[in-house]
Amino acid sequence: AQSVTQLDSHVSVSEGTPVLLRCNYSSSYSPSLFWYVQHPNKGLQLLLKYTSAATLVKGINGFEAEFKKSETSFHLTKPSAHMSDAAEYFCVVSRTDSWGKLQFGAGTQVVVTP
């Protein structure tokens, strides 16, 4: 079975400072991993995905994530936070019990202060 643990339920950062959202996963196989962002009362938008091509994955809006197999981690970072980054972020792993199914983390709420 697979699981996803987002280590922080809330993160508060100042505008212009780095953002780090932590995610650990477990999976029986080489997983596909995703980060999604959700703004209030909206659907989820894909930020980036890892599918074994490269361990450092660049996404939209300046975000990137690094896959570390030895640490079973897939942390999301951004060098400089913007006010528009305030949202909820989900780390997601592909499930092994059936094609196409995803396992979502509980989410990390990001607050950006001026």
- Binding flag, residue 84, another protein (CB under 8 A): no
Of these, 27, 65, 89, 94, which contacts another protein (CB under 8 A)?
94
Residue of 46, 54, 60, 111 interacting with another protein (CB under 8 A): 46
Select from 20-28, 65-73, 79-87, 104-112 the region that touches another protein (CB under 8 A): 104-112
**In this structure, what token pair is assigned to residue 22?**
């932590």
H or E segment to which residue 92 belongs: strand 87-94
Amino acid at 89: Y
45 binds another protein per the rule CB under 8 A: yes
Q: Is 7 in the site for another protein (CB under 8 A)?
A: no
Which residue of 59, 90, 110, 112 would you call a contact of another protein, by CB under 8 A? Answer: 90
For residue 100, give the 3-state DSSP assignment: coil
Strands 33-38 and 23-26: unpaired
Min dist CB 15 to another protein, Å, is 25
Tokens of 112: 């950006």
The per-residue DSSP string of 37-69 comes to: EE-TTS-EEEEEEE-SS-SEEE-GGG-EEEEET
Chain positions contacting another protein, by CB under 8 A? 4, 9, 32, 34, 36, 41-46, 49, 51, 90, 94, 98-102, 104-107
